[in-house]
Chains A and B, each alone.
Chain A
Amino acid sequence: MMALALSSRRHVTRLQSTGALLGGVLFGLAISLALLLAQGIAITAVFAEFVGFVFLSDAGLASVAVEATPLVLAGLAGAVALKVRFWNIGIEGQLWLGAIGATGVALYDAGPEGMRLALMAAAAMAAGAAWIAIPALLRIRLGVNEIIATLLLNYVAFLLVQHLVFGAWKDPQQNFPYTAGFDAPVEQLARLGWGKTHAGLLIALAAVALVWLLTERSRLGAYMRAVGASPEVARATGVPVLLTVVAAVALSGALAGLAGFSVAAGEEHRLTQHLGLGYGFSGILIAFLGRFRALGVLVAGVLVAGLYVAGKSLQQFYQLPAALIELIQAIILFSVVGADFFARYRIHRG
């Protein structure tokens, strides 16, 4: 009989950790490829879509950039919260609230026109932060598990949007469940002249730079690392733990809200029924793939956006179910998380 034994590694090197990450991604992609092949898609078609169109054609790259904009913001939202051990599963809800906040400013023409977009963005961030404040307060004051609270608030946010687009905010000119369109150009993010890319892309890039500065070069970032590594040590050494957690969590909600603003003001130009669906889950995946670091999130966001774009065209041309793309994302997340195990433990006979 051959028995296998596990022993944990004293120290996981960067090489082992990167290897596990890449191995996990490749393993997930291989299973996904098998799934696609099982759907009757020729392997050449898969590669033509994923590599040829998505990453080698100008139009494809532009679509990836558009998709990546909210995904990177959502990924950052997941990453900053996880840095202080706060599991924000409610990115999607905060994104919905961000879209509601931006739409409210646009619909009621609040503030001067020159300030309108900035106000919409501010309202979106405030709404996202306010939405995460509920589970944050519940955890800090009452010890309620934030995973459950943030997750359930996603449904509340979704239904709130449905309530608005079917009710009070429904476009009076149309019979569809969406709001009236935002006025061009004061309420819409400017196009960059490359495919459908818009100024939201610059906002997302600026957010990456800001989060990098904040986490790697600021006092708050050092406190966040300490709280993430050991809340007890942080408290005993005089780190303002509560303030640090509140700041990181509020930032997480604000970033998710900003993603909602970007989709509403940059792509849809109105609040629609399905505008935010799926971003929350992708945000968590991207945070994990990017190892909770700003630059990692940027890279992972672009890769997941590529997956989205390829998936959409596979959907159109090969009548694949939309769920398949979500399935592929889930497979990749599982294999990446699973692969970490192989970095942390050594398997040997014994």
Chain B
Amino acid sequence: MTNALELAAISKAFDGRVALDRADFAARWGEVHALLGENGAGKSTLMTIACGLYAPDSGDLVIDGSQRSLAGPAEATALGVGMVHQHFKLVPEFTVLENVALTCGRRYRGQATLRRALTETAEKVGLPVAAGARVRDLSVAERQRVEIVRTVMLGVRILILDEPTAVLTDREAETLLAMVRGLAADGTCVILITHKLHEVKAHADRVTVMRAGRTVARGLDAATLDVPELARLMVGETLVPPAARPRPPGATAFAAEGLRVRRADGTTAVIGLGFSIGAGEIYGLAGVGGNGQTELVQAIAGVMPVEAGRLSLGDADITHAAPAGRRKLGLRVIPADRHRLALAADLDVADNLALTGLASGRYGPALWASRPAMRRAAAAAIADFDVRGAAPDTPVRLLSGGNAQKLVLARELDDGCRLIVAHSPTRGLDVRACVAVHAALIRARDAGAAILLISEDLDEIMALSGRIGVIAGGRITAEFSPPFFRPAIGEAMVGHAPAAPREEAPEPHVGVRVAAGGRP
């Protein structure tokens, strides 16, 4: 049987940093082939070579049995290779159809033809899209559908999906992976770049594992592997996630009461939301993305104004305090969008780490900021948090997602932290980085910090939290105590409220809290 795609002994370096070191890969027609590896293992780089975005320094690329050297993505598309990237390449202001026209306009002449082709492909693939909707109004899952359908429309027979489920909820991911199976059944070669082990196990036929730019296992039968073995292949050793032992929380360290936050466009994102967290407690906030989580984080961080309600940290009212004032009181934030709210991409590691500590005089008295002191602190943080590929003067832009996240942790989880707001702190991170993040949060909790953990990953929330609230439509709609029952939380997340008493038609400013408790 011919391989659909074969990459042999591919090497690639960027500015002298080796990204791929004689990496191998081969996938067959009609299979779902998982490409597994840690952050920065070279998975995405290898696949961008397969789709013509980068040229390899050395090595062979074989598509459908013929050796190729690609001049660009257009040539790859012509040969039937297409990739859906982690960051979607859609114009938000355009409609779905206009975005499809950008890449498929030459293949399907005329709007009517294009529209028909879009509808037909979407139906065939099983991912319905609304042709006339503006992309900016679509959810992340819907945008991803547009990307996939658009790529399939180009006649792609080798479909590469880069971390497709990273931005999806459990249910959306299931739909997507079922669709992927359908495509493979029709003969398409689907390559799934991922670091989620259970996905590999559940949905892939075969798996190739990469570590540090090399292929460490090639084309293994997924059915014969178990998850711990996959993890061992991926990280080189078996990692045991830290057990979060429950502790009785201390006095209330943080409270939100009747919180109301309006987005810049005038719509209300958070409606009368209230909860409190004790010192040494992790409060998990579960919910489908886009239900007010981002705005809640920004309101607590002080970068988005609070319209009504009250935020208190310890005894202090911080409802209208400036970000700097909140930090002084011990607020630390690990935002979901670290490049917009935590790290300045163009600054180096030392500058980024020093940002929050300058005012304390840690880097020099009075108005001084000693570069040597900043570099020393950065070197220590890099070692403590195992940040890979970074020196104090490396621009943060060059770090992989997981390593950039470790930098944020190194800066935020300092001695003075009393409330940590962590929003999807492990999104896009590999197993090893996840374990490091969770361990750091647990350490901070044990040191007495109150932690608000906001995540769409239920496993993460259930593993770490002392209590779990569910956010939906800008309100806390349910609150759970251990032992947690996964389906009950899941149901609350998607709006099918648990069969517990619930106040009817809540006033907008009243926080509705339903203690559904843990069902057996």
Contact = CB atoms under 8 A, between A and B. Distances in A.
B342 A236 contact: yes
Interface string A226-266: 10011011111111100000000000000000000000000
> Which of A5, A11, A236 has the most B CB atoms < 10 Å from its CB?
A236
Interface residues of A, number: 28
B500 interface: no
Contact of B367 (A10, A219, A240): A219
Contacts of B322: 238
A121 to B, nearest CB: 22
Contacts of A230: 340, 344-346
A87 B388 CA distance: 37
A116 interface: no
Contact of B341 (A219, A233, A239): A233
A141 interface: no
B263 to A, nearest CB: 16
Contacts of B356: 237-238
B351 A350 contact: no
Contact of A226 (B14, B323, B324, B351): B351
B72 interface: yes
A181 B494 CA distance: 81
B352 to A, nearest CB: 8
B395 A216 contact: no
B371 A217 contact: yes
A254 B199 CA distance: 61
B344 A229 contact: yes
A225 interface: yes
Given A232-B340, A235-B303, A221 B15 contact: no
Contact of A217 (B74, B339, B343, B369): B369
B419 to A, nearest CB: 14
A238 B344 contact: no
A117 B183 CA distance: 82
Contacts of B335: 236
A219 B369 contact: yes
A220 interface: yes
A316 interface: no
Contact of B355 (A10, A13, A234): A234
Given A222-B354, A239-B355, A350-B72, A234 B344 contact: yes
Contact of B368 (A10, A11, A217, A237): A217
B111 interface: no
Nearest to B324: A238
Contacts of A233: 339-344, 355
Interface in B110-163: none
A233 to B, nearest CB: 5
Interface in B320-375: 322-324, 326-328, 333, 335, 339-347, 351, 354-356, 358-359, 363-364, 367-371, 374
A145 interface: no
Nearest to A223: B358
B71 interface: yes
A229 B15 CA distance: 23
Contacts of B8: none
A18 interface: no
A11 B395 contact: yes
A225 B370 CA distance: 14
A218 interface: yes
Interface string A198-232: 00000000000000000011111111011001101
Interface string A1-30: 000010100110100000000000000000
B301 interface: yes
B432 interface: no
A211 to B, nearest CB: 14
Contacts of B513: none
Interface string A294-318: 0000000000000000000000000
Nearest to A230: B344
Contacts of B327: 237-238
Contacts of B323: 235-238
Contact of B364 (A219, A240, A349): A219
Given A217-B368, A235-B323, A229 B398 contact: no
A218 B367 contact: yes
Contacts of B310: none
A219 B15 contact: no
B397 interface: yes
A11 to B, nearest CB: 6
Given A233-B342, A236-B335, A350-B72, A13 B347 contact: no
21 contacts: A5-B72, A10-B14, A11-B395, A11-B398, A217-B370, A219-B364, A220-B367, A222-B354, A230-B345, A230-B346, A234-B355, A235-B303, A236-B333, A238-B324, A238-B327, A238-B355, A238-B356, A239-B324, A349-B71, A350-B71, A350-B72
Given A219-B358, A226-B344, 14 more contacts: A10-B398, A11-B395, A217-B368, A218-B367, A218-B368, A222-B369, A226-B347, A226-B351, A230-B345, A233-B355, A234-B344, A236-B303, A237-B327, A238-B327
Interface of B: 14-15, 53, 71-72, 74-75, 301, 303, 322-324, 326-328, 333, 335, 339-347, 351, 354-356, 358-359, 363-364, 367-371, 374, 395, 397-398
